[in-house]
Structure 1
Amino acid sequence: MQISAAERAPRQAGSDPRKRRRAATICLPLAVVAIGIAALGVGRYSIGVVDVTRILLGQVLPLDPSWSQAQEAAVLRVRLPRVLLSMLIGAGLAVCGVVLQAVFGNPIVSSQIIGVSSGASFGGALAIVLGLGSAALVLGAFGFGLVALVAVFLTSRTRGPAPPLTIVLSGIVVGAFFSALVSLLTYLADPYGELQSIVFWLLGSLATATYGKVAIAAVPVLLGGALICALRWRINLLSLGDDDAATLGVRPARLRWTLLVAVAAIVAGAVAVSGVIGWVGLVVPHLARLWVGPDHRLLIPVSIGLGAAYLTVIDTVTRNLGAAEIPLGVLTALVGAPVFLVLLQRNRKRMWSE
């Protein structure tokens, strides 16, 4: 049965990439800002959107204060660092998912697949067991995340360029090794002291967000994200295959490892300040791909915005859902797994065939 031209026109108009690009570039930034302002006002001590906006503008403009000192403290000292950190980590994990799925040509690849999350988890857990303080926890998570990447590089080296499957298998092995070390530390930790801290940190949380942690996460996330954005048009060439990409002037092996280093820096920086937060790098790229298609020149910026908004919403729910705060990593899994299954069943062809 053939479809008439009149019936095809609405579909073509609805899938016009120019309209989707316009909607993504205009609506998404406004939505991210709106979600951030709303998150600053939501809590057990509720603050109106107008007051939140005036408090923020009052830091740069000479506005007469119509808000109380308690409201200003709640917004600027308690909630703003947490919202900024959730946006940074959400954007970073989302862009990591996009890059890894493109590099390996596999729609179910995430940051855990290359072992960086497991390495960073071990570094943070080791600092907790040794009682070295928060600074050592951040440095340990970041350092062992990079150690995991180097281990993947060394174990996947061949005489020629390392194929993606070899890198994936090396990442699984390295991740399993560091996961075993984390289990060992969990077993050796004091059940009435360090064990509780390790378990809570591994589940992922932004409850201890501060401006210092925002600065720590911002360095690797922004630098790695800027590098990925600068190379996003080259990522499209990887989908053509190594031979065609090399013909067009791209060195696939070098580009692949450059992207993996950027991903490792982002993931290690995120894990260092928030613990392990899963499913963001798996669900958000698929949502973005359904919206704007597979072109990474637009897909990566859209994933960044969606990731920031997604994790901010989830974190706002975690701190207001009950009397005791639910770990962020638990809720992202509870929400992400069903959403991913629905997307997979309804749009498995569209996600990668456009």
Structure 2
Amino acid sequence: MVLPIVAMTIVLAGVSIVALSVGRFPVPFPHVIRIVGTHVLTIEDSTSQVEQNVVWLVRVPRVLLALLVGGGLAIAGAALQAVFHNPLVSPEIIGVSSGASFGGALALLFGMGSFFLVSASFVFGLVALGLLFAVTLSRERTPILMVVLGGVVTGALFSALVSLVTYVADPYTTLPAIVFWLLGSLATATYAKVLIALVPILLGTAVLFLLRWRVNVLSLGDEDAAALGVRPGRLRWVILVSTSLIVAGAVAVSGVIGWVGLIIPHLARMWVGPDHRILLPISFLMGGAYLIVIDTLARTMTAGEIPLGVLTALFGAPAFFILLRRNRERIWDSA
């Protein structure tokens, strides 16, 4: 159980060093290690001030934010796939991403600053969760299908509101900013945004990690979970709230980045199996490494910067097609 985590941590560290090194202003690997060591261990450094500024002030917060967002979306997807007993479920199914998108688009429409952009995204993400809770709340046990339908309706509502915001936005000033933000980007990463994302993402991740053995039980089905002494309804909502915190925090600082929560958990499951005690931490590490790679490609492939949502879709759509082909018989049999 420990060996895969150690291996994935080493991969994550290597990917991070490469990401800190490459770019418009390349910095040699030894210099990157010395610069990071200077700020972390307060040792003397002989590198130039320009290299220190590029690595520590520009690239380090971007790598940290990619780690938090990618890891958070991946572990949220893994937990939701266990809740809904379907490996083709992603965090977007609960509608929180659409709610957070509307909050960010609304802040951009009224020309608010970064603080209000992040705050509005997070608040409306939680509003979407509250709406889902209100739609599906009942005194009796809430079926999984009801939660899915409630998430679809909530997501559709806020997607329509986002479309309304883009319709009324000024096509020469506000609209391009809204569209670029909705496609997902880490170009404006700062240490302040890292701190903002750190609280909800790590809080939700910590709850999921503490409940990892209960997630194993819940993945067996409600009847088996109840027979083993777990309350499936209550546990499901705790997981939904935790994943919503993660998704809302991620969208608030990076915009909408799809496919990470769908593809990464499945790849991690193919490697370490369905045991969520190891699947959840591996998904977090793998998702963080994956988004760091995608973000590095986004800022180095062309003269401009490619939105992250475009690249994750280009990689995720073929992978989703392969997953759909492999699982089509089980999907149709369970319908």
Interval of TM-score (by shorter of Structure 1 and Structure 2): over 0.9
Does 1:278 pair with 2:258?
yes
2:18 is matched with which residue: 7, 24, 38? 38
Note the alpha carbon deviations across 1:120-162, whole angstroms, 9 max, x for none.
Answer: 0001111111122211111111111111111111111233111
Distance 1:54 1:347 in 2: 48
Which range is displaced more, 44-53 or 305-314?
Answer: 44-53
2:208 is matched with which residue: 207, 211, 228? 228
Does 1:150 pair with 2:135?
no
Match of 1:310 in 2: 290
2:180 is matched with which residue: 200, 206, 217? 200
Structure 2 unaligned spans of 5+? 331-335
Note the alpha carbon deviations across 1:176-219, whole angstroms, 9 max, x for none.
Answer: 01000000010001111111111010000000000000000011
Distance 1:173 1:343, change over 3 A: closer
2:63 is matched with which residue: 80, 83, 107? 83
Shift of 1:224: 0.4
Match of 1:265 in 2: 245
Match of 2:112 in 1: 132
Match of 1:212 in 2: 192
Where do residues 83-102 of structure 1 align in structure 2 (5 Å cutoff)?
83-102=63-82
Match of 1:179 in 2: 159
Structure 1 unaligned spans of 5+? 1-20
Where do residues 1-12 of structure 1 align in structure 2 (5 Å cutoff)?
none
Match of 1:5 in 2: none
Distance 1:49 1:236, change over 3 A: same
Alignment size in residue pairs: 330
2:304 is matched with which residue: 321, 324, 332? 324
Match of 2:235 in 1: 255
Distance 1:60 1:205 in 2: 27
Distance 2:69 2:52 in 1: 25
Distance 1:73 1:337 in 2: 37
The SS at the match of 1:58 is: helix
Distance 1:318 1:224, change over 3 A: same
Does 1:59 pair with 2:39?
yes
Q: Which has the larger radius of gyration?
A: 1
Distance 2:144 2:42 in 1: 56
Distance 2:289 2:277 in 1: 20
Match of 2:333 in 1: none
TM-score (norm 2): 0.95
TM-score (norm 1): 0.90
